[in-house]
Amino acid sequence: MTTAQGAQQGRAQFGVAGMGVMGQSLALNVADHGFRVAVWDRHPERFDEMRQKGAPDSLKGYAALEEFVAALERPRRIMLMVTAGAAVDSMMERLEPLLQPGDIVLDCGNSWFQDTRKREAEWKQKGLLFLGVGVSGGEEGARYGPSIMPGGPAEAYAQVRPVLEAIAAKSEAGVCVTHVGPDGAGHFVKMVHNGIEYADMQLLAETYDLLRHGLGLSADQLADLFSQWNQGIAESFLLETTIKVLRKKDAETGKPLVDLVLDKAGQKGTGKWTVQVSLDLGVPVPSIAGALDARNLSSMKDERVAASRVLHGPKGESLSADEKANLAAWVHDALYAARVVTYAQGMRLIQAASNEYKWNVSLAEMARIWRAGCIIRAKLLTPLREAFEKKPDLPNLMLADSLAPVLEKMAPSWRRTMAVATRLGIPVPVFSASLAYFDSYRSPELPQNLTQAQRDAFGAHTYQRRDRPEAGFVHSDWS
């Protein structure tokens, strides 16, 4: 053994900085897989918490950053588990003088991908390696197997790969981690994952609302129905979570707890970023935007309560016997179809960013690593992966050989669902935005000839003629 090898021996193989709930869970997960782990936190009492959670002796806590860094074998591999934004910059500033060329830092928060691109480029100049890593799955996922989306230098990924593969979730399609691409690719994909999460959650909320108000189903009846759905093609983690939520009773009142939850949705920003980026890249994501607006509108509670006294919904509407008998089945299909459309938009956005930033992201791989561990994991991800494996340059998921016929078959139920919602005055922003996306995308003719004519009429913005494409952009006097 060389002296250098001797010095490395016994040192921690992996470091985790920031022992909040997620940091603790990930550090314990790494330790469970036989790696010697060093953890850092300003609050040493958190190390005691971790002992109580069963941290092995191979996991050691440090309250001094210098000692934590010195305890790690080289190249150092340090996972940052701090809140996205200024805290990441501050940790990087503190770590930088303590690190040596070739050391690797993994930012595992929900960071803005442009920050990640900048940070990675700056550290590269200094000989340090920076990975922007999306991690999904909440506390449970972090502890027992998240879906991991790392972006950054390939050589850095190669160094952390054994650890990430050990701790990631596993599905029938393999381990739920892959090198997403360079610089900000991993954080971008995680952001879109969250955008899809917003839309998927909103679709489930709309489903609940339609069946609750349309059919008068109770929380328990809904949970029973959703449990049946969850045995079939609609199976997903978010549906399973919905069932769990609907079954929970409030200990004090005995009522379904969900009925006692105030209808004002919060958010931390990743859904908003998804929509902002989609506007910059010119990629429509109306289902995700609809979900974001739905959260924003929900938070205007006082205004809505006041408005409900002035603006009234339809009166005297009721469902026909046919609608009563079939609504649940129609909504099931509408939900599936709208989810396909949501994923189609998210995938398209990733494809556009991958082209723009030359990331070379494999959409099939993204579907594969989302199959387990993450919040949007669902049975649907299997046909989705297969579609992109078969045709990596598929322009839109809705065109996949395996999904297009399903959408065609489900569209009538989807339309009936929308008709019922409209008649009853139940807002279904994501169901309807998704259907409009589907209908627009499948239309060879859209009314934007009128838009172009208007633009030319009031602002001489010019237009192209269908009958004379060779004439290029022309202007007419519309008066």
Q: How many residues are given for the chain? A: 479
Shortest distance, position 283 Cβ to ligand 6PG, whole Å: 20
Out of 24, 29, 116, 136, point to the residue binding ligand 6PG (CB under 6 A): 136
Cβ at position 195, least distance to ligand 6PG in Å:
10
454 binds ligand 6PG (CB under 6 A): no
Q: How far apart are CA 326 and CA 420, in angstroms?
A: 11
Contacts of 55 by beta carbon, 8 Å cutoff, 6+ apart = 27, 28, 31, 47
Gap between the Cα atoms of 261 and 269, Å rounded = 22
Stretch that binds ligand 6PG, among 49-57, 132-140, 325-333, 433-441 (CB under 6 A): 132-140
Q: Using the rule CB under 6 A, which residue among 42, 268, 390, 465 binds ligand 6PG?
A: 268
- For ligand 6PG (CB under 6 A), the number of binding residues is 13
- Can you tell me which of 103, 120, 183, 197 binds ligand 6PG, judged by CB under 6 A? 197
- Smaller CB distance to ligand 6PG: residue 61 or 195? 195
Kindly name the residue from 197, 323, 365, 386 that is annotated as catalytic.
Answer: 197
Is residue 270 at the binding interface for ligand 6PG, with CB under 6 A as the rule?
Answer: yes
Stretches 176-184, 239-247, 263-271, 417-425: which one binds ligand 6PG (CB under 6 A)?
A: 263-271
Alpha-carbon 386 to chain mean position: 20
For the bound state, the minimum distance from the C-beta of residue 1 to ligand 6PG, rounded and expressed in Å, comes to 42
Pick one of 13, 24, 25, 110: the residue that binds ligand 6PG (CB under 6 A): 110
Here's the x/- map for ligand 6PG, 271-300, by CB under 6 A: it reads as x-----------------------------
Q: Near ligand 6PG by CB under 6 A, which window of 229-237, 267-275, 350-358, 423-431? A: 267-275
Based on the shown chain and the rule CB under 6 A, indicate whether residue 219 belongs to the binding site for ligand 6PG.
no
Identify residues 358-377 at the interface with ligand 6PG (CB under 6 A). 374-375
Per CB under 6 A, 266 contacts ligand 6PG: yes
Stretch that binds ligand 6PG, among 4-12, 135-143, 286-294, 361-369 (CB under 6 A): 135-143
| Under rule CB under 6 A, residue 342 binds ligand 6PG | no
Is 190 tagged catalytic?
yes
Q: Which one from 190, 272, 365, 386 is the annotated catalytic residue?
A: 190
- Four-point Cα dihedral 249, 253, 254, 255, nearest 10: -60
Interface with ligand 6PG (CB under 6 A), residue from 114, 221, 241, 267: 267
Residue nearest ligand 6PG by beta-carbon distance: 136
What b/e readout covers 429-440, taking b as 16+ CB neighbours within 10 angstroms?
bbbbbbbbbbee
Tell whether residue 138 is a contact of ligand 6PG (CB under 6 A): yes
Q: Which is nearer to ligand 6PG, 39 or 191 (CB)?
A: 191
Contact range with ligand 6PG by CB under 6 A, out of 7-15, 240-248, 268-276, 354-362: 268-276
47: Cβ–Cβ under 8 A, 6 or more apart, which residues?
19, 39, 41, 55, 61
Place of tokens 């990631």: 168
- Report how far residue 236's alpha carbon sits from residue 203's, in angstroms, rounded to the nearest whole number: 13
Name which of 129 and 177 has its Cβ closer to ligand 6PG: 177
Query: Is 194 near ligand 6PG (CB under 6 A)?
Result: yes
- Listed residue (396, 23, 365) closest to 189, CA to CA: 365
Site for ligand 6PG in 391-420 (CB under 6 A): none
Q: How far is CA 220 from CA 134, 268, 332, 375, in A?
A: 35, 30, 17, 23
For ligand 6PG, the closer CB: 13 or 110: 110
Residue 197 is a catalytic residue: yes
Q: Nearer to ligand 6PG by C-beta: 182 or 373?
A: 373
Residues 474, 459: Cα–Cα separation, whole Å: 13
**Which residues contribute to the site for ligand 6PG (CB under 6 A)?**
110, 136-138, 194, 197, 266-268, 270-271, 374-375
Q: Which residues have a catalytic role annotated?
A: 190, 197
